[in-house]
Amino acid sequence: MDYKIYHNPRCSKSRQALQILEEKNVNIQVIEYLKEVPSKEELIDLIDKLGIQPHELIRKGELIFKENYKGKTLTQEEWVNAMVDHPKLIERPIVVHGNHAIIGRPPEKVLELI
């Protein structure tokens, strides 16, 4: 079964996680999520596989978050919509294998899926 990584090549943690997967010689589908923005349905599926709430997938250090969302109470659907509208808000990297997913922070955490 193949692996998917939701990847930002400009992110060192994302690059490190991808390198770990490549060193394990697994089949990897690389999704540059800033270019290929996940749909609302894909994000909901990812969140389910991660076993978290939508707000837990938000990068709270991003300027977009600080300017638009900090201190606000949003519904789960509103958080998902925010990530679709502003994919920079999506925590990275996310690695998926079957029905399981993990956020690769630290990057070595992806080894839990292998």
What domains sit in the chain, N to C, each tagged with a CATH number?
3-113 (3.40.30.10)
Q: What is the C-alpha to C-alpha distance for residues 32 and 73, in angstroms, rounded to an integer?
A: 29
The catalytic residue among 11, 26, 74, 111 is: 11
* Per-residue pLDDT reduced to its tens digit, 42-55: 999 999 999 999 99
Task: Name the pTM for this structure.
Answer: 0.94
* Per-residue pLDDT reduced to its tens digit, 1-57: 699 999 999 999 999 999 999 999 999 999 999 999 999 999 999 999 999 999 999
Q: Where are the alpha helices (DSSP H) in the chain?
A: 12-23, 40-50, 63-68, 76-85
Q: Show Cβ contacts of residue 32 under 8 Å, excluding neighbours closer than 6 positions.
A: 7, 8, 9
Quick one: which of 81, 79, 112, 110 has its CA closest to 6? Answer: 110
pLDDT value for 1: 64
32 is catalytic: no
| Unique residue bearing structure tokens 């839990």 | 112
Strand order in the sheet with 3-7: 28-32, 3-7, 94-97, 100-103
